[in-house]
Structure 1
Amino acid sequence: MAKVQSPDQLPWDPNCTQFPSRKELPKIEGAPNGAAWVWGKDDQLGRLNLLTPQRVKAAAAEILTGEMVRLDLPLNVPETPAFGREQFQHNIKSLIPDIAYDDTYTLNTQSGTQWDGFRHFAHIESKTFYNGTKGTDILGPNANTHACSTHHWATHGIASRGILLDYRHYAKTHSIAYDPYTQHAISYTDLQACAHSQGLDLRPASQGGDIHIGDILVVRSGFVERYNELSPAERRTGALRAHDDLHWAGLKQEDAVLDFLHDAYFAAVVGDSPTFECWPPVERERGYLHESVLALWGMPLGEMWDLEVLAERCRERGRWTFFVTSAPGFIAGGVGSHGNATAIL
């Protein structure tokens, strides 16, 4: 029997089987318009609340062969990160020569395969992060390592059913030519056409579609494929473009995409590009998807995931769903994390 969540009955029950649409979200006192701060005033998990034990158990049914596919790039890839971020550094320390060694990492969690945490990107107009967190909670003399930290994700865990939309393959096989290092906007209509070509229906299961509450949406736009084709010099040049000249393919900033991402009740969204969304936005007045996904809805956002082997295996199987698990770094006050992600087929 369907258990329908009423918009105004706060806090929401993550065990419900139908949830309000983006247009039905309640107006929450003190929150920006469109905020889905609905899981409790002290909530730190956002959409990860949807990963109930029952849903995780159901997602495990996706494991058919047991083949594991790692979804992280090597920690030193990209060799030159974009946006002026630090390069990964690995050093080996000798404890007893020829007997024992340690190693140390210096890592900017946003430089490679990553989760953007709720502290990463605010709702710009209100300068507010998910569930009312402010910049003074993140940095400064009154910082609160509890507020919106990714360590809450680490203690809760991330495991669900993943669903891959291989837009790059769809584009190549349907005469849509683009360079992932350019501002190529992937619309909801594009995602629908890609899904249709894969035999998927992007409607929620409650409407007869293939999307389950708590799924993790994975979109392949082709960044990693293109990165692997470039020479080291070309990779460096692409990453060191001036901030205003950085361009990446990704999801289009449009109401149809926002409605889809919200109303499907994904637990998280993931892409293979450095920005997930088309960068820069094709229509700047519409703002950034990051604002809605992270600050308004509390939905973890993954970027620069290595989807090449996964896409190949999905095409071979003719099956686009799988079990996926990720173990974010466990550090109080975390802004983001490396992915530590694996798909199990």
Structure 2
Amino acid sequence: MSSTTQVPDQLPWDPNSTRFPSRKELPKIPGAPEGAAWVWGKDDWLGRLNLLTPARVKAAAQEIKSGEMFRLDLPLHIPETPAFGREPFQHNIKEIVDGIVFDDTYTLNTQSGTQWDGFRHFAHIESKTFYNNAKSTDITSTPTCNSIHHWANHGIASRAILLDYYTHYTETHSTPYDPYTTHAVTLADLTACARAQGIDLRPESQGGDIKPGDILLVRTGFVVRYHQLTPQQRADVAARSHENLTWAGLAQEEPLLDWLHDCYFAAVAGDSPTFEAWPPSQENGYIHQQILALWGMPLGEMWDLEALSKRCREVGRWVFFLTSAPANALGGVGSHANATAIL
């Protein structure tokens, strides 16, 4: 891939470029909120997935060394009691022919477990605008606008990087934090974690290890803590009001927002129910609106990173190939991840 630099106001952007504008260099787009990166075309519903060009996917496949596969979805029934009042997974078996043929049916809230948040999920709050200038009326009346099926048809496959922040914190502090509390992970925290793993978190254009189109995974310990709790404790936590729910996750700080943007990740995901620290800080608000509505970056939550992080630590490798197959649901808001890491 030849080296090319994307000019900020030369729209639409070329996803084959190797260097992209920083957050501070984003062009001013008429009618868009400040900081919007609606740069891939008028009717674009892929956002940062445009970075997953054939050349990048082919290069990412070179990260497959041992061929070991790790499924990154929790079982569909976990959590048994989803947070935020969401419906639990329901599974029914239907007998079609007595003793011979069976079917089954699922009832699933795509936000109840391991998930992708799609671009229909969260708007820029002040302007009530979804990715690429979509409004709530577009979401309810136009099934193709920002639908998850665009991701399914394009496909998600890329080089991925895992930051095992939970283990790093535990190894460097006398007392571990509780992932079920508001523990904000700063850019400085992630940088220290990455350094311990032998990773330079700067973008490749600045001499670091992050390439455009990479997928970022962050382990904050939610899944391991979930399995430590009793079923009643899990239910009690999930039943708390929205105002009283607390989770560990990424901090709502400007340095981290700059870094998340400027690395040009194709997508980001974590193991907590919210990815960002919850509740968000009142000063900077929700990272969700930046990632989804302004940048068009797929956001994953409640991914199961336990077996993967254990194996990465054993072999000393934190970079691998990742593939995900979102549901091909016309008008879909989100999807279970159907994600696999291949070392």
The TM-score with structure 1 as length reference comes to 0.98
Give the structure 2 partner of residue 187 of structure 1: 186
Q: CA deviation at 1:32?
A: 0.3
Query: For residues 243-300 of structure 1, what are the alpha-carbon distances to aligned partners after superposition, in whole Å with 9 as ceiling and x for unaligned?
Result: 100000000000011001000000000000000000001x213110000000000000
Give the structure 2 partner of residue 334 of structure 1: 332
Give the structure 2 partner of residue 251 of structure 1: 250
The one-letter code sitting in structure 2 at the alignment partner of 1:133 is A
Matches within 5 A, 1:126-137: 126-137=127-138
Correspondence for 2:291 among 267, 274, 293: 293
Matches within 5 A, 1:219-238: 219-238=218-237
Matches within 5 A, 1:176-215: 177-215=176-214
Q: Distance in 2 between matches of 1:96 and 1:168?
A: 50
Q: Distance in 2 between matches of 1:138 and 1:50?
A: 24
Q: Is it true that 1:56 corresponds to 2:57 in the alignment?
A: yes
Q: Distance in 1 between matches of 2:94 and 2:138?
A: 36
Q: CA RMSD in A?
A: 0.7
Give the structure 2 partner of residue 320 of structure 1: 318
1:94 is paired with a residue whose SS is: strand
Query: For residues 124-160 of structure 1, what are the alpha-carbon distances to aligned partners after superposition, in whole Å with 9 as ceiling and x for unaligned?
Result: 0000000011111112xxx000100000000000000
Query: For residues 151-176 of structure 1, what are the alpha-carbon distances to aligned partners after superposition, in whole Å with 9 as ceiling and x for unaligned?
Result: 00000000001100000000100016
The one-letter code sitting in structure 2 at the alignment partner of 1:117 is G
Q: Distance in 2 between matches of 1:25 and 1:217?
A: 22
Q: CA deviation at 1:322?
A: 0.6
The one-letter code sitting in structure 2 at the alignment partner of 1:344 is I
Q: Is it true that 1:164 corresponds to 2:165 in the alignment?
A: no
Q: Distance in 1 between matches of 2:131 and 2:124?
A: 8
Q: Is it true that 1:41 corresponds to 2:5 in the alignment?
A: no
- Which runs of no fewer than 5 residues in structure 1 stay unpaired? none
Q: Distance in 2 between matches of 1:285 and 1:169?
A: 29
Give the structure 2 partner of residue 263 of structure 1: 262
Q: Distance in 2 between matches of 1:157 and 1:324?
A: 11
Q: Distance in 2 between matches of 1:207 and 1:120?
A: 33
1:115 is paired with a residue whose SS is: strand
Matches within 5 A, 1:66-215: 66-139=67-140, 143-175=141-173, 177-215=176-214
Query: For residues 42-97 of structure 1, what are the alpha-carbon distances to aligned partners after superposition, in whole Å with 9 as ceiling and x for unaligned?
Result: 10100000000000000000111111100000000000000000010000000012
Q: Distance in 2 between matches of 1:146 and 1:33?
A: 25
Q: CA deviation at 1:98?
A: 1.3
Percentage of matched positions with identical amino acids: 70
Q: Distance in 1 between matches of 2:189 and 2:129?
A: 32
Q: Distance in 2 between matches of 1:301 and 1:46?
A: 12
User: How many positions carry a matched residue from both structures?
Assistant: 341
The one-letter code sitting in structure 2 at the alignment partner of 1:35 is A
Give the structure 1 partner of residue 305 of structure 2: 307
Q: Distance in 2 between matches of 1:200 and 1:114?
A: 27
